[in-house]
Amino acid sequence: MLLGAGTAHRWAHSSRAVAASTYRPPVVALSEIPSRLGPFSLVQELPLGAETLQVAGVDCYLHRSYAASASDPPVSLYVGYWGYQNTGMGHGPDVCFPATGWEATGLAEQHDAQLRQPDGNVMEATYAVHHFTRSGPEGVARVAVGFAAAFDRRFRALSRGVFLHRPADPRDAGFLAHVIVTTNVRANRWQAADARVAALLEQVLPHVSQCLFGGDKLSGEHTIEEDQGGV
């Protein structure tokens, strides 16, 4: 998937040479995302090789495997971050997976969620769940893929069109982040795979928000006291 996006990322890297841009690091390191996310526990860290990192062009990343139980299929979590204004990748799994031989099965399903952050705020997020299949010598492989992109202080289901992104809010100083959650589909059990993907995404997005924005409020974010009519 990352290698499939190589051309776009190499272009993004070359644009840094001509774009007057200041690096904006995450407020909190991505490595601070907990090893326990709701029912999911960390299985292992998944470092990316030098070639993949060069192609991906990210400034920092997190790549891990989680599982809800020993009997459940693992779910991979990838968070990629580009911290320079006007650089970054402007597409998601709908482009990357087909570029590496996967075929989309139907249309992606979009979800809107209200999620509680570690600091108690409630944030709004939109994400998409995609289905892909690929035929090979060992038969048909199937994956469910959850995706959310963070830019303009929001989590969205698509990031196409933000390849050369100028943030609407100058506090952002220009950055783009992708959160991708992937799991294998056993015996055509798409519904169970979708549930795993959505559950891990909804657990991790509030922590990604804290990494990107710290205590600053996201657009559409509010506190529990405000929900109850308080100050």
Its pTM stands at: 0.83
What average pLDDT values come out for the chain (231 residues) when binned by 10 residues? 44 45 86 96 94 84 95 94 68 87 93 92 94 92 95 81 53 77 93 97 96 63 32 23
**Per-residue pLDDT, 21:** 62
**Per-residue pLDDT, 132:** 96
Cα(12)–Cα(89) distance, rounded to whole angstroms? 7
Q: Could you tell me if 147 and 128 are in contact, meaning their C-beta atoms sit under 8 angstroms apart? A: yes
Beta strands in 100-188 (DSSP E): 103-104, 109-116, 122-136, 139-151, 154-156, 176-184
**Per-residue pLDDT, 184:** 95
* Residue owning tokens 């993004």: 12
Cα(86)–Cα(80) distance, rounded to whole angstroms? 16
Q: How many CB atoms lie within 10 A of CB 44?
A: 11
Task: Read off the DSSP letter of residue 222.
Answer: B
